[in-house]
Structure 1
Amino acid sequence: MPEVWILGGTGRSGRVIATELLRRNITPTLVGRDAVRLRKAAEELPGEVRTAVAESVDASATQIRRRTPAVVINTIGPFVTTAEPIVRACLPATHYIDLANDVATATRLLLLQDEVRAAGPTVVTASGFGATATESLVVKLCENRPTPRYVRVDMIPSLEIEVGPLGEALAASMTEGLPGVPGGRRFGGRCYRDGRLSPMRLASEPRTLSLPDGSRVTSVGVPLGELVAAQRASGATSVVSGSTELPSSPVMRAIVPLAAQLMAIKPLRTFATRRLAAVEIKPRPRPREHSWAHAVVEWADGSTRTGWLRAEDAQAFTGTVPAEVTRRLLAGEGRPGVHFPAALFGPSLAEDCGGTYLV
């Protein structure tokens, strides 16, 4: 039986992914630093689960090279630090999937394109709710159409929050999520202009959206992984990505860019990471029944298409995508190289993960 490893297997994402793998009759191996937590997580899952202890990213990479599992699913942030060494450890025999959703990780992995293609495995990045849902919608809207000139995508997640500390990995993902990438300041916003990553003020270009369920939300510009995914899926020279997860009031839209620039000061960034990691998260129900992705695509002749993708809990969708991608990779449906999920498997992937298109 092919081995499927989940790095960070005791975390919420790891446990949800493991459950979805079991539903597809795939036995997961939970990989983490603490043997006791691994055993406890394995006992709570609805099926046979293996465990493996790896105390660091380097230790995980060493074990991957030695044991060559069929698929490795990376849930450990910050992905800008963990993704590349794990991908390199997977070459040449192991497929790789991650939940990264930042521009830096996407652009760095795409630089490995030739190397990964020559080696032969499939690398699938940004396999969570935001990038997969918005990219899938863009692929759907652009089917059988010429290359558009402009795309805007917005993600509107809805998820139940578990009680517990935020944790080091997630805190680091938040503070390191806007590192230096081409096209602007180290911790500044990004969009695509003339086909290139270009500066854009964080939390700018607010857009109030009327959801299909009748509620209204405001999304503001933020450079997440879906920005790169949408550009590559559409080929558009002008692309903006937005999210409802950033504050959208006029005052906060003025503060966010200034606060982001402070993160460029390493001692402040380190301090913020430590404080965030210790924050105790209070449980919270889903703010709305569904999660949504929204996209507007515009062509040179002025024609436009607009659409929505409806999903349930965003965390559940994030767990389902890597499991479904794994099933398809084990079935031989992958291709050598670095890919985003919908560009590799088409818009049917989101539907098989519980999404519904409203185009």
Structure 2
Amino acid sequence: MSATKEIWILGAAGRIGRGVAVDLSARGFKLVLLGRDRARLLELAGTIGGEPRIVVAGSVEAIAAEIAQSRPAVVLNAIGPFLETALPIVRACPQGTHYVDIANELFAITALLGLHDKAVATGQCLVTGAGFGLLAAESVVMKVCEGKPPAARVRVDTVPRIDGSDIIGPTVAATVVEGFATGGRRYEDGQLVRASIGGDAEHLTMPDGSTAVTGAAPSGELEAAQRASGAPFVVAASSEAPTRPMARVVVSALAKLVTWRVLRDVLQDRLARLRLDPPAKKSEFSWARARVQWPDGDIREGWLRTSDGMVFTVKVASEVAARLASGGSRPGAYTPGALFGPELAEAAGGQFVLDRAAT
């Protein structure tokens, strides 16, 4: 184990980081709040109590140096884009220090999962994707596939609801811009292949009667669903993907521009302040759906219902960090469902709606 029992929260002054800090403080964990803005960190520290320590660091390099010196029990990373922050921070974690992030960029997820053998050798547990999109999709696939052989085809859809603010925010914006840069992906014959962002559009009617349109997106749900199901054909879609023809034209144009770092930063900043269009018939819940087909032609569908997507992400990240700090893990690199099973989604407040035959 590490030299201290501290849980470090990177990006503690942000919306997710703040929520995690409040939750973990209430559970009695010793926290270190790290961010760029000392005033905001001090305000948060005064709000949650428990005398958390404050660390101000303005770059990934500075964050990594602080972590390497202090040997925390757990590092919770809420700073995107995770394709840029995750690996340097993981490499800085001393032997025995565990790591969790809320990433959902496809290649950030696969890069961290690629460290499995190294994490086993160093006694570390690395968990990536501890948030609404990935865990919601992954867990409902796991539930639908329980007791079944490997699937033939899977489609997962996520429809988040965000209370209090419909602004996209910097972390989600970083994920979206990274998606522009890398382009769409899907699984065909067991291989990742290029696909159109916003393609495979589908009109969904959720179990509560609300509706939404989802389109393909290069998200972490794609990798998690493939691993959970064993299916060679997988599509991951979201209500946040651009499905209208003009929006898809704009995304195609942006994909050529965001290879330039300056333009990428400008776009990310602008996007973070945009507001999301609500679903056609807005639900009071966030939803994830899995539609699974097996080689014998059997098709099943399942749903996971949660509250606000941000609130669910806070609960998932907090629960994972708490379990890691308490010794409830094993060495290696995992998605949250792969490590803790679909019951983690229920522990975070989700409810499964299963046993729905699909046509």
Normalising by structure 2, what TM-score? 0.90
Encode CA deviations 1:302-332: one digit per residue, 9 max, x unaligned: 1122100000011000000111112222332
Distance across 2 between alignment mates of 1:270 and 1:18: 27
Q: Go from structure 1 to structure 2 and tell me whether the alpha carbon gap of 1:37 and 1:142 turns closer, same or farther (over 3 Å shift).
A: same
Written as runs of structure 1 = structure 2, the 5 A alignment for 1:56-135 is: 56-135=59-138
1:22 equivalenced with 2:31 (yes/no) = no
Give the partner amino acid of 2:67.
Answer: I
Distance across 2 between alignment mates of 1:177 and 1:163: 20
Partner of 2:177: 175
1:228 equivalenced with 2:251 (yes/no) = no
Where structure 2 has 5 or more consecutive residues not aligned to the other structure, the ranges are 355-359
> What SS does structure 1 have at the residue aligned with 2:161?
coil
Distance across 1 between alignment mates of 2:216 and 2:266: 26
The one of 170, 174, 187 equivalent to 1:192 is 187
Partner of 1:49: 52
Give the partner amino acid of 2:40.
Answer: R
1:288 equivalenced with 2:283 (yes/no) = yes
Q: Go from structure 1 to structure 2 and tell me whether the alpha carbon gap of 1:219 and 1:94 turns closer, same or farther (over 3 Å shift).
A: same
Query: What is the Cα deviation at residue 144 of structure 1?
Result: 1.4
Partner of 2:357: none
Partner of 1:138: 141
Partner of 1:149: 152
Partner of 2:9: 6
The one of 194, 208, 212 equivalent to 1:213 is 208
Q: Go from structure 1 to structure 2 and tell me whether the alpha carbon gap of 1:23 and 1:142 turns closer, same or farther (over 3 Å shift).
A: farther
1:264 equivalenced with 2:259 (yes/no) = yes
Give the partner amino acid of 2:324.
Answer: L
Give the partner amino acid of 1:341.
Answer: P
Give the partner amino acid of 1:235.
Answer: G
Query: What is the Cα deviation at residue 254 of structure 1?
Result: 4.2
Partner of 1:183: none
Partner of 1:182: none
Query: What is the Cα deviation at residue 2 of structure 1?
Result: 1.3
Query: What is the Cα deviation at residue 55 of structure 1?
Result: 2.6
Identity of aligned residues (%): 45
Output the aligned Cα RMSD: 2.5
The one of 315, 326, 331 equivalent to 1:320 is 315
Distance across 2 between alignment mates of 1:80 and 1:108: 8
The one of 297, 300, 309 equivalent to 2:304 is 309
Partner of 1:343: 338
Give the partner amino acid of 2:225.
Answer: A
Where structure 1 has 5 or more consecutive residues not aligned to the other structure, the ranges are 180-186
- Are the equivalent residues in 1 in contact too, given 2:135–2:336 (CA < 8 A)? yes
> What SS does structure 2 have at the residue aligned with 1:251?
helix
Deviates more, 1:83-92 or 1:322-331: 322-331
Query: What is the Cα deviation at residue 25 of structure 1?
Result: 2.8
- Aligned residue pair count: 350
Give the partner amino acid of 2:69.
Answer: R
Distance across 2 between alignment mates of 1:240 and 1:165: 23
Give the partner amino acid of 2:330.
Answer: R
- Are the equivalent residues in 2 in contact too, given 1:15–1:45 (CA < 8 A)? no
- Are the equivalent residues in 2 in contact too, given 1:91–1:116 (CA < 8 A)? no
Deviates more, 1:15-24 or 1:292-301: 15-24
Deviates more, 1:105-114 or 1:93-102: 105-114
Give the partner amino acid of 2:312.
Answer: F
Distance across 1 between alignment mates of 2:225 and 2:144: 11
